[in-house]
Amino acid sequence: MNDAVQKYLDRHAMLNRWPIVHGPLDGIHQVVVIPCLAEDPGLFDTLDDLSANPKAETDRTLVICVVNNRKPPFSSEDEIENNQRTLKRLRDCGDLRLAYIDASSPESEFPEKDGVGLARKIGLDTGVHVLVESSDIARPLICLDADTRVDNNYLDTIRTFYEEGQPWAAIVDYAHPIDGSGEETAAILCYELFLRYHELGLAYAGSAYAFPAIGSTITCSARAYVAVTGMNRKRAGEDFYFLQKLAKTGTIIRITGTTVRPSARPSNRVPFGTGRSVQRFLDGDEDEYQAYHPQSYRVLKHWLSLAASSLEQDSATLLEGAEAISPALRTFLESDHFDEIWMNLETNSPKRKRDIKHFNGWFDGFKTLKLLHHLRDNGYPDQEMFESIATLLEWKGVEPPMRIHSGLKPDLDGQRKLLQLMRTCH
């Protein structure tokens, strides 16, 4: 076994507290991990989608369902009952190479502070253990959600992608379902348009973190998973932080040719993400048609360009350049002790020389988000979303199929056309 893998399994993996129930594990080429909290009956629609993939693919794919909850009152009696029903159904579900982990039954529950992050971690740690038995740590671990639908070429597309290029990590194309004309459709249109706008803004700025943080789209090789010491245990945002670690250590590529379709259902389980955003839209407490000011992405673009071209300059020169871009940018950097950071990027380098990888390791996805929030509060307030999208598309040289303006709010068909365009812009 690879030394790095053995070290990870010995020091970081969670394999014993929640054992896996499984059949034969020979011939596995990839592992799909699905966290499950009160997901009956939706989970079985997801499993049916996976079963619809070619038999050659389902035969070499292990699907691990991590059925989890916390003790009452942190999980409700209805959630626990649903989980027990799910476990019973999984025991009788034989169409896939299916395994499950019981983190729901008495004395097996999650600790009070844990949730989806731990569920993903347990499943992925187990997946690494299964894959290393084949001595091929370039094979993929695949994150999926129990309320997400997939195509019948999903497994083949991902396996082929990893076999042909042996990539570090990737995200699968995604598309929320946008059928219908009700408020939930309006909510998910608004949310995905914002996600696409933000990703496009980061790409325009040249950020190394220009990708969506959606758990059900994430894949990585077993070697990449081990290299970043695995999934974190966060109850929310685990996907964002996991992708950030992968981006710091390798390249994240986009898998096209198949699509995952995350659920658009409202939810209050976590403080942010798809379900929470849809619920907030339906509650109507805030104007959801707001987005980061497009000029904030321009500030970010100029800052990243300045840093990349000035790695040998001192911090004072960088701060002067930052102030020329935006005084708010300089204030942000100074509040983050940029002088000290810039010196450390040099002194902590093995070659005593800064490089762009070290810079991007410091100015990561979270730091980028903090800058956008700082700019929002200091001269670059949120703007009307559709007008912001129009500005960004113009900067990118993209010609939209219609005039984009705030009047699109009640026009769901117009929003659908715009979303189709945004789905092609990366």
Question: CA nearest 386: which of 197, 184, 155?
Answer: 197
Q: What is the pLDDT of residue 95?
A: 76
Note the pLDDT tens digit of each residue in 1-21. 678 888 999 999 999 899 999
Q: Calculate the average pLDDT of the chain.
A: 93
Give pLDDT, residue 378.
98
In whole angstroms, give the CA distance from residue 367 to residue 22: 41
Q: Is 74 exposed, middle or buried (0-12, 13-18, 19+ CB in 10 A)?
A: middle
37 and 63: one domain?
Answer: yes
Tally of domains within the chain: 3
The answer to whether the beta carbons of residues 175 and 265 sit under 8 Å apart is no
pLDDT 10s digits, 377-401:
999 999 999 999 999 999 999 988 8
Element (DSSP H or E) covering residue 252: strand 252-261
pLDDT in tens, 294-330: 999 999 999 999 999 999 999 999 999 999 999 999 9
State the SS3 of 318-357. Answer: HHHHHHHHCHHHHHHHHHCCHHHHHHHHHHCCCCCCCCHH
Quick check: is 85 in a domain?
A: yes
Residue 90 lies in a domain: yes
How far is the C-alpha of 403 from the C-alpha of 297, rounded, in Å? Answer: 22
Q: 323-336: per-residue pLDDT in tens?
A: 999 999 999 999 99
Same domain, 239 and 372: no
Q: Is 80 exceeded by the pLDDT of residue 276?
A: no
End position of a domain, from candidates 361, 377, 393 = 377
pLDDT above 90: residue 283: no
| Domain that includes residue 169, residue range | 3-177+208-263
Q: Let me know whether 391 and 302 are in one domain.
A: no
Q: For residue 272, is it within any domain?
A: no
Kindly report the CATH number assigned to the domain that includes residue 127. 3.90.550.10
Q: Does residue 306 sit in the same domain as residue 252?
A: no
Place 135 in a pLDDT band, splitting at 50, 70 and 90.
low
Assess whether 11 and 146 both reside in one domain. yes
Look at residues 377, 393, 413 and tell me which one is the last residue of a structural domain.
377
State the Cα–Cα distance between residues 193 and 137, nearest whole angstrom: 36
* Residues 145 and 33 placed together within one structural domain of the fold: yes
Do 155 and 301 belong to one domain?
no
> In angstroms, rounded to a whole number, what is the distance separating the alpha carbons of residues 200 and 12?
35
Residue 327 within a domain: yes
- 369 shares a domain with 412: no
- DSSP character at residue 109: P
Judge if 153 and 234 occupy the same domain: yes
Say if 185 falls within a structural domain: no
Query: Helix, strand or coil for residue 142?
Result: strand
DSSP assignments along 188-200, one per residue: HHHHHHHHHHHHH
**In a domain? residue 183:** no
CA–CA distances in Å: residue 222 to residues 134, 165, 245, 246, 305: 11, 14, 14, 12, 33
Q: Residue 269: name the closest of 81, 122, 63, 117 by CA.
A: 117
Say whether both 158 and 306 belong to one domain. Answer: no
Q: How far apart are CA 11 and CA 14, in angstroms?
A: 9
Same domain, 26 and 64: yes
- Whole-model pTM: value is 0.94
Rg (CA), the chain: 22
Q: How many residues does the chain have?
A: 426
By CB atoms closer than 10 A (0-12, 13-18, 19+), residue 179 is exposed
- Amino acid found at 137: I
Domain membership flag for residue 71: yes
pLDDT tens digits along 222-266: 999 999 999 999 988 999 999 999 999 999 999 999 999 998 777
Does residue 328 lie within any of the structural domains? yes
Same domain membership, residue 35 and residue 137:
yes
Give 181's contacts (C-beta < 8 A, 6+ positions apart).
Answer: 412
